[in-house]
Structure 1
Amino acid sequence: MHIESAAFGSIDVEADQIIEFPAGLPGFEACKRFTFIQTGEHGSVLQMQGVDDPAIVFSVTDPAALGVNYELTLSDADVASLGLTQPEDATVAVIVRQAAVDVGSPADAGLKANFMAPLVVNTATRRGIQKVLEQVGCEITLRGQ
């Protein structure tokens, strides 16, 4: 499949590189298919490129890359939506963004991660969800560097 990405220009994506989010993402419900692109800019940060809408791109990373051990519980509906049969097929990622350096205090500058709405992807079925958490009901452990 050929995509004219607003961020990366002309790219070709194989069918087995596409992850489907059946419900879309909150605020982006019409964009249900994404592919992940390694740009090398920030090491472990990947770009999640929209297939249905090439203008949509999110930066994502494994919470462990941020020094965070992040575990959450999936509901039966989440497991069914993912088609998840083996726990080891699930991977968790968080959407990150670069905060503007000139906004607020220096403490506000840097990488911001959305831990309240992680992405969960079944690598076997290539299906994903964005699990919006109402409250922190998961285990988060920060590691010192």
Structure 2
Amino acid sequence: MKIESQVFGSIDIPDEKVIEFPAGLPGFEACKNFALVHEQDSTSSLFLLQSLDNPEAVFSITAPDSLGVSYEFSLSDAETAQLKLANPADAFVAVIVRKEEGAAGSPVTAGMRANFMAPLVINVAERRGLQKIITRLGCDVTLRAEG
């Protein structure tokens, strides 16, 4: 499938790389098919989740551990069924990150923000995903210092 990405221009996505989000993403319910896109030869842990249904819908994502965070939460039986997740090892968890346009010179609001209250869960074996909305902090988050 060939798409026009705002970031990468014209790119070809093989059918076996398409990830289906049956419910879409909150606010982007019409976007059901996505692909993880990465600059060729890049070693960055940041990926783009590019909608194949709407080329303007693209999200920067990364694994929580690449941010120095150990992150655990539970999936409901319905979520596990939606993902067709039989083996927990097939689950890939990612968070959406965005550049924070904070007050000039303020280190508190400058940089990147990660949304840990709405992680993405992708069954890599079945290529199915969902966005888990966590309404209250009932998961375990551990920050570890690097260096």
TM > 0.5 fold call: yes
1:53 aligned partner? 54
In structure 2, what is the Cα distance between the partners aligned to 1:46 and 1:16? 18
**CA-atom RMSD in angstroms:** 1.5
1:61-114 per-position Cα deviation (integer Å, ceiling 9, x unaligned): 000000000111000000000000001001100000011254583210011000
1:77 partner SS:
helix
1:120 aligned partner? 121
Percent identity among equivalent residues? 54
TM-score (norm 2): 0.94
1:121, 1:129 within 8 Å by CA — same for their partners in 2? Answer: yes
1:76 aligned partner? 77
Question: What are the ranges of 5 or more consecutive residues in structure 2 without an aligned counterpart?
Answer: none
2:103, 2:109 within 8 Å by CA — same for their partners in 1? Answer: no
Q: Which 4+ runs in 1 deviate beyond 3 A? A: 101-104
- Give 1:134 shift: 0.3
1:9-38 per-position Cα deviation (integer Å, ceiling 9, x unaligned): 100000111100000000000001110111
Specify the code of the residue in structure 1 equivalent to 2:50: Q
In structure 2, what is the Cα distance between the partners aligned to 1:50 and 1:42? 22
In structure 2, what is the Cα distance between the partners aligned to 1:103 and 1:96? 20
TM-score (norm 1): 0.95
2:89 partner SS:
helix
1:7, 1:55 within 8 Å by CA — same for their partners in 2? Answer: no
1:108 partner SS:
coil
1:15 aligned partner? 15
